[in-house]
């Protein structure tokens, strides 16, 4: 049973749920799905307020690691293998789950597409900037306002 960390902010719990696989092997027939969820911890204690399925972002995208929340926005790392590995940072409205922007932060060519990749990239937020060690050989920093 996989375990994931969560983020609690302003009476809400935010989490990345689903398969721990962030990059599907080329011959894997089973669809890998991850999702972001927001639960109310106050007024409607434990009720699901919204969820975003990774498949709504386009073919092959998966969420990675726990989201970071600040100033009404939720930020999360995202990955896709198509066949190169792409890493993005996504920004969503913390109240509704609506996508605000995504920013490409790394691409890697090569490696094996014969195995599933289990990864849990984690963002760090400080002074209005998002930091991410991509595990592709780069550490990136983007502005939290617009990526």
pLDDT higher than 80, residue 27: no
Rounded CA separation 95/48 (Å): 12
Global pTM value:
0.87
Of the pLDDT bands very low, low, confident and very high (cuts 50, 70, 90), residue 107 is: confident
- Chain mean pLDDT for the chain: 85
Rounded CA separation 36/97 (Å): 8
| Best CA proximity match to 34, nearest among 70, 69, 82, 2 | 2
**What are 73-82's pLDDT values in tens digits?**
999 999 887 7
Q: How many CA atoms lie within 13 A of 112 on its CB side?
A: 5
pLDDT for 133 equals 87
**What are 50-66's pLDDT values in tens digits?**
999 998 988 888 898 88
């Amino acid at each position: 049973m996989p375990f994931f960390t969560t983020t609690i902010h302003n009476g809400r719990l935010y989490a990345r749920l689903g398969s721990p696989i962030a990059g599907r092997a080329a011959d894997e027939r089973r669809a890998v799905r991850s999702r972001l969820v927001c639960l109310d911890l106050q007024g409607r204690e434990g009720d699901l307020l919204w969820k975003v399925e990774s498949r709504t972002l386009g073919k092959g995208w998966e969420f990675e690691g726990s989201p970071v929340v600040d100033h009404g926005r939720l930020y999360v790392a995202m990955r896709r293998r198509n066949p190169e590995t792409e890493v993005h940072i996504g920004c969503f409205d913390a109240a509704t789950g609506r996508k605000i922007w995504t920013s490409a932060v790394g691409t890697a060519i090569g490696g094996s597409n014969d195995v599933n990749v289990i990864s849990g990239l984690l963002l760090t937020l400080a002074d209005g900037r998002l930091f991410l060690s991509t595990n592709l050989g780069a550490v990136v920093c983007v502005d939290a306002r617009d990526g």
